[in-house]
Amino acid sequence: MRLRNIPRADEVLRQSPFVIKDAAVYTGRWSAEIFQNNNPIHLEIGMGKGQFLLALAQQNPSVNYIGIERYSSVLLRAIEKLSPPLDDNPYIAPPNLRFICMDAAAIDTVFAPQEIARIYLNFSDPWPKARHAGKRLTSPEYFSRYDRILQTGGQIEFKTDNRSLFDFSVETLNGSGQWKIDALTYDLHHDSSMNSGNIMTEYEEKFSSLNNPIYKLIAKRQSDSLSCI
């Protein structure tokens, strides 16, 4: 489906205090200069309209959250959730939340080694054609980028309704000495353990309403002494 361009999106993002401009300036200094605390930083890559990340930030004030979205017209929808007066708005603008409008391929130029504690990948573009496999957010190329910014023991949580992409992701992780799958389910909403505390994204609500199974895995980054993908 073609993404609809919203002309005002870029200007709204420029004016928003929640959107960090020139993000690479803060490499290695996100805690000190942006959040001004030592709390762990969690990322969502491909955050869409922000429902998942906003809920997490409200529920966990001792964690700092950064949402990364490539398209300004999509990120605009997350910003708009924080814009109406509070008495008309179900979302409260949390101080532990920021956004970056950028291509995730440059993620290791924006964050320093060991700077990130957790990464969320929710309903990522499957890029189904084989020649585009390197663009998948769970490809070896992307896991190598995550390896450079995640702490030892840091986690990646991945959810999708696309079985082919999920199988590809599992195979990628199983072929690596740097990552270990800690948990995995092929039917999240009927897995009482992994579904405990689950926050649904907009896509997840849509797909689950159609009775599509949701797949999820949690992978942990191993010691630096191990080989990378």
Successive 10-residue mean pLDDT values, the chain, 229 residues: 70 90 96 96 95 94 97 90 58 85 96 98 95 96 96 96 97 92 97 96 91 96 63
From the list 10, 88, 108, 125, the catalytic residue is 125
CA distances to 41, 60, 87, 126 from 38, rounded to whole Å, are 9, 14, 31, 35
2 within domain boundaries: no
At 87, the amino acid letter reads D
77 within domain boundaries: yes
pLDDT at residue 56, as a whole number:
95
- Alpha helix ranges (H) inside the chain: 9-15, 51-59, 72-81, 107-110, 140-149, 163-174, 202-209
3 within domain boundaries: no
Owner of token pair 């309209």: 49
CA distances to 52, 177, 214, 219 from 222, rounded to whole Å, are 27, 8, 26, 9
pLDDT at residue 81, as a whole number:
83
208 within domain boundaries: yes
Owner of token pair 């907009």: 202
Tell me, yes or no, if 125 is annotated catalytic: yes
pLDDT at residue 4, as a whole number:
64
Q: Which two tokens stand for residue 67?
A: 């949402």
pLDDT at residue 224, as a whole number:
67
pTM assigned to the model? 0.91
- The per-residue b/e assignment along 156-184, b for 16 or more CB within 10 angstroms, e otherwise, is bbbbbbbeebbebbbebbeebebbebeeb
Q: Which two tokens stand for residue 35?
A: 């959040």
User: Is 210 in a helix, a strand, or coil?
Assistant: coil
What CATH number should be reported for the domain holding residue 189? Answer: 3.40.50.150
pLDDT at residue 84, as a whole number:
57
Q: Which residues constitute the domain of residue 51?
A: 9-221
Owner of token pair 């906003």: 54
1 within domain boundaries: no
78 within domain boundaries: yes
Q: Structural domain tally of the chain?
A: 1
Round to whole Å and give the CA distance between 12 and 202: 22
98 within domain boundaries: yes
227 within domain boundaries: no
User: Is 202 in a helix, a strand, or coil?
Assistant: helix
